[in-house]
């Protein structure tokens, strides 16, 4: 019978059923009123087993309390599904916030009564970016509902999001900005190390905090999985760089000088002196504050844009830029190459770069 079992004499595992059959041991998560779930055939104290158990228990504890056939039931089912749980933590947070808001408004409304007009009315009072996230949530929920045959049609497909005004966003750092920052923060400071790491890799702050020596392969390429997208990014670390990046070797040399100047070595390059990983928020403030002290009004994300821009100006293709920066869609990269091509169109072939032009 399922009950409570203590793993390694420390952790109580509730709803765990263990079956001995044919000389083998099988583990299941089994709770009253819920379908039995198979767990890995591993020792109870192993990290892999405990992780699988925790994931299964999370799904179990989100069992629907909503009335059958309601929008709320579909939302609760979606939030417990693999489709939802497979996304990044930050994406799940956004979707859950909007899903809970929809659920609160819908109360006991039947899913069969949901129309495109209802969804449009829900989007109307929201700002453009919030409306875009809300529509993503509606489409994810409706797609799940249709897959589970809780909806016969998907009314979210005909709904249209509001146009999002074009904005510059975080501006890219200029050559003058880079020079000012380097002049203010010398090699050996955490401000300089953070700057050089983000500038060379083009990584987002959320990824920069976890980059470390263990991510460098035998081929000399740094590879890390992006937190936002779950996709990999590849950066020439010690290997011979591609032809378009040969003119950037001074930047890589600066980074390695900053790394060699560290007093403490840890699993991540930007860890604190005590070996703790820095938070994305803290690191973002560190760069912004340090930039202001250098009379540079730019952000850490602007360094990512600067790397993409310099890659485009060096002749890298959209695919090559995307491999380095980790952008998923080519459309995200094309505006960098478009700007570089237009700039090149008004320059002479033999133009020399003078200090006044930088």
CATH of the domain at 305: 1.10.443.10
Domain residues for the domain of 24 are: 3-61
pLDDT computed for residue 352 by the predictor: 46
Residue 62 has pLDDT above 80, yes or no: no
Residues 185 and 294 in one domain: yes
Torsion of CA 197, 329, 233, 140, to 10 degrees: 110
pLDDT digits (tens, 9 = 90+) for 220-229: 999 999 988 8
Q: Which two tokens stand for residue 43?
A: 């020792």
Q: What is the pTM of this model?
A: 0.60
Residues 32 and 80 in one domain: no
Residues 261 and 304 in one domain: yes
Confidence at 354, pLDDT banded by 50, 70, 90: very low
* 153 in any annotated domain: no
Q: Let me know: does 309 contact 325? Beta carbons within 8 Å.
A: no
* 82 in any annotated domain: yes
Residues 122 and 197 in one domain: no
Total number of domains in the chain: 3
Torsion of CA 135, 141, 147, 153, to 10 degrees: -50
Residues 42 and 180 in one domain: no
pLDDT computed for residue 224 by the predictor: 95
Residues 83 and 45 in one domain: no
pLDDT digits (tens, 9 = 90+) for 247-298: 999 999 999 999 999 988 899 999 988 888 899 999 999 999 999 999 999 9
Count of Cβ atoms closer than 10 Å to residue 98 Cβ: 22
Residues 116 and 262 in one domain: no
> Which residue among 61, 83, 110 closes a domain?
61
Q: How many Å apart are CA 61 and CA 63, to the nearest integer?
A: 5
* 159 in any annotated domain: no
Q: For 188, list phi and psi in degrees, rounded to 5.
A: 110, -15
Residues 180 and 128 in one domain: no
Residues 87 and 113 in one domain: yes
Q: Which two tokens stand for residue 157?
A: 């497909």
Average pLDDT, the chain: 86
Q: Let me know: does 336 contact 308? Beta carbons within 8 Å.
A: yes
* 66 in any annotated domain: no
Residues 51 and 86 in one domain: no
Of 332 and 34, the structure prediction assigns the larger pLDDT to 332
Residues 221 and 126 in one domain: no
> Which residue among 105, 128, 147 closes a domain?
147
CA dihedral for 147, 149, 150, 156, sign (positive or negative): positive
pLDDT digits (tens, 9 = 90+) for 198-243: 999 999 999 999 999 999 999 999 999 998 888 899 999 999 999 9
Q: Which helix (H) or strand (E) holds 142?
A: helix 128-147
Q: Let me know: does 122 contact 134? Beta carbons within 8 Å.
A: yes
Tell me the helix, strand and coil percentages in the chain, rounded to 5.
50, 10, 40
* 114 in any annotated domain: yes
* 155 in any annotated domain: no
Residues 204 and 286 in one domain: yes
Rounded to an integer, the average pLDDT of 341-351 is 66
* 281 in any annotated domain: yes
């Amino acid at each position: 019978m399922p009950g409570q079992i203590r793993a390694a004499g420390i952790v109580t595992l509730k709803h765990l059923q263990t079956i001995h059959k044919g000389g083998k041991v099988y583990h299941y998560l089994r709770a009253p009123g819920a379908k039995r779930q198979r767990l890995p055939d591993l020792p109870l104290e192993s990290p892999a087993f405990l992780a699988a158990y925790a994931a299964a228990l999370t799904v179990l504890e989100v069992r629907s309390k909503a009335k059958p056939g309601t929008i709320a039931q579909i939302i609760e089912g979606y939030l417990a599904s693999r489709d939802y749980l497979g996304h990044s933590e930050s994406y799940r947070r956004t979707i859950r916030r909007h899903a809970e808001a929809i659920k609160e408004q819908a109360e006991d409304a039947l899913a069969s009564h949901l129309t495109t007009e209802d969804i449009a009315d829900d989007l109307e009072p929201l700002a453009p970016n919030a409306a875009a996230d809300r529509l993503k949530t509606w489409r994810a929920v409706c797609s799940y509902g249709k897959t589970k045959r809780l909806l016969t049609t998907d009314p979210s497909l005909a709904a249209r999001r509001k146009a999002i005004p074009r904005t510059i966003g975080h501006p890219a750092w200029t050559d003058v900005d880079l020079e000012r920052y380097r002049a203010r923060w010398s090699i050996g400071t955490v401000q300089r190390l953070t700057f050089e790491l983000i500038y060379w890799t083009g990584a987002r702050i959320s990824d920069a905090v976890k980059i470390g020596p263990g991510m460098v392969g035998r081929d000399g390429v740094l590879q890390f999985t992006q937190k936002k997208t779950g996709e990999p990014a590849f950066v020439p670390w010690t290997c011979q760089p591609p032809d378009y990046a040969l003119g950037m070797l001074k930047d890589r040399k600066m980074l390695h000088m900053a790394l060699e100047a560290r007093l403490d070595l840890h699993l991540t390059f930007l860890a604190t002196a005590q070996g703790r990983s820095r938070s994305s928020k803290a690191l973002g403030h560190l760069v912004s504050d340090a930039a202001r002290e250098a009379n540079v009004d730019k952000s850490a994300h602007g360094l990512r844009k600067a790397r993409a821009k310099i890659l485009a100006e060096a002749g890298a293709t959209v695919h090559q830029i995307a491999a380095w920066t980790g952008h998923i869609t080519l459309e995200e990269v094309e505006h960098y190459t478009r700007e570089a091509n237009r700039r090149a169109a008004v320059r002479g072939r033999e133009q020399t770069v003078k200090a006044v032009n930088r």
